[in-house]
Amino acid sequence: MYSKEELFLAISTVIDPEVGFNLVEMGLIYDAKCDDEGNAHVTMTLSTKACPMHQMILQWVKESVEKMANIKNVEVELVWEPAWNITMADDNVKKALGGA
Amino acid sequence: MFSISQDFAPPFKLISPFFILGSLFYLLASVFIFFFTSDNLLLQDPKVLSFVHLFLLGFVMMVIFGAMAQLIPVVLEVGHSAVELFYVIWPLLGIGTILMVVGFLGFPALLPYGGTVVLISMMIFVMEIFSTIKKVKKLNIVMGSVLISNTFLFFGIIFGLVMALGYAGTIEVDIMSLLRSHVYLVIGGYIAITLMGLSVVLLPMFGLSHGFSMRPLEVSITLMSTSVVLVVISSFVKYALIEYTAYTLALASMVFYFYLVYTIFKTRARKELDIYAISLIYAYFSMLVALGLGVAYLASSYEPLLLASGWLIFFGFFGFAITGHIYKIVPFLVWFERFSPLVGKEKVPMLADMLPKKSSHAQFVFCAVGVSIIAVAILLQDDTLMKAGASFLVVGASALVRNVFYMINFK
């Protein structure tokens, strides 16, 4: 129903309030797919395991996909492998953080 | 729909008094420095003891306890056992601190009362943490550090209460032999090990560091724990070798800890030098200088070296490590309470927007200059320089109080 790019575009509205970048450009969203019935599945990670906003961020990701037309169900899977690192972020993020 | 667990987010009204009171005690401790002269710059002087308790209990412990209310569920990955108990911890700690500070200043009869109130406050804290830890199925090194540090705190406050009873003349004890254990259990055992454990959570979280080894933390905590136990033993068994072995282990522990911090710093993705980063850099620099002064004291027995080392550990290391984290933790708590429900509905501020940038930098500059000048004043035993440093520090501490209120009232 929706391509990975379309789902990523929807999720890119979610911004990490600590660093000020969206989750997609941070490289935190590993995969996203959606079947013809409107069941979406997002695979993502977080920059740290001990994130106090852990549950909120997952909720925002879920809500950002739920806003898309004809989406019936959204599953957000949080994984820790592969572990996130700055090389997964977009160049503009790396540059802004000073890691480029 | 995911639910946001309130276990992981204690209400802001529960935590905010810790930060407000903590910053006010920081200001009071800064004002206190005006009343020191080179005559009473002695480790056993009641004014020094009063000041140390004002700073450590009123500021360091108050802010650490408040931060722990929020961080314990994050670190232990379980909800608090009874988070409501934090509503009584801060009033008891505040009242107990004031009673002890006044008690040391000339009303020793107040010391057992103040000591008991502080004891009750800390026991409630320790028991709440222990019962929360019981919910954890498998302890990792960070969780283990919470368990170890709180065990040391438990014994440290018992030693403190016995000493307070001794000061008041209620019981007869050898205060000097208990003093070292009390100081080491609380400062080395609780504060240092707590900061070490939290370092591997908070420093990588804010610096986006990855790929560093946790092994130096394990070694560091093991060495510091052994050091604390040996110091306690040396209070009862008068054998100099045990005591000096303990100091050597503490020094080695700090070397491993600094190596850990260095690797976290080296692997960080976030390079910007914000108020958090510069506060921590000053804190770690102070600690390095303090360690150098401590070693010089062991070699020379010149007491001002020990006092200056203690000053830099307290106001330099603890002070700046804590104020730096206040600028991260308080905006998060306010943001979580006030703005997180608005996400997706309207534009919300970023955490960095909630910081008073100029005022926080002014706080850093005035406090850093003040702390540095006072360290030199202690070494030179110079009253005028001491007052000059205190002037800077009071301006910086006033800015801290203002900044805490600014962040808490951010709308």
Tens-place pLDDT, residues B109-127: 898 899 889 999 999 999 9
Quick one: average pLDDT of A41-47? 94
Q: Please indicate whether, in this complex, the C-beta atoms of B211 and A53 are within 8 angstroms of each other.
A: no
pLDDT in tens, B26-45: 999 999 999 988 777 777 78
Quick one: average pLDDT of B262-288? 92
Q: Please indicate whether, in this complex, the C-beta atoms of A51 and B2 are within 8 angstroms of each other.
A: no
One-letter amino acid at B65 equals F
3-state SS assignment for residue A78: strand
Q: What part of B 269-288 touches A (C-beta under 8 Å)?
A: 269-272
Residue in A20, A50, A62 closest to B75 by CB: A50
Q: Is B112 exposed, middle or buried (0-12, 13-18, 19+ CB in 10 A)?
A: buried
> What local confidence, expressed as pLDDT, does residue B8 receive?
60
Q: Please indicate whether, in this complex, the C-beta atoms of A55 and B270 are within 8 angstroms of each other.
A: no
Work out the mean pLDDT of chain A and round it to a whole number. Answer: 90
> What local confidence, expressed as pLDDT, does residue B178 receive?
86
Residues 6+ positions from B45 with CB-CB distance below 8 Å: none
Residues of A with CB under 8 A from a CB of B: 13, 15, 17-20, 47-48, 50-56, 58-60, 62-64, 76, 83-86, 89, 94, 97-99
Q: Where are the domains of chain B?
A: 272-335+349-410
Work out the mean pLDDT of chain B and round it to a whole number. Answer: 90
B265 touches chain A (CB under 8 A): no
Q: Which CATH architecture has domain A4-87?
A: 2-Layer Sandwich (3.30)
pLDDT in tens, B386-395: 999 999 999 9
B270, B273, B332, B336: best to mutate for the A interface, most A CBs within 10 A:
B270
pTM: 0.89
User: How close is the nearest chain B Cα to the Cα of A3, in Å?
Assistant: 23
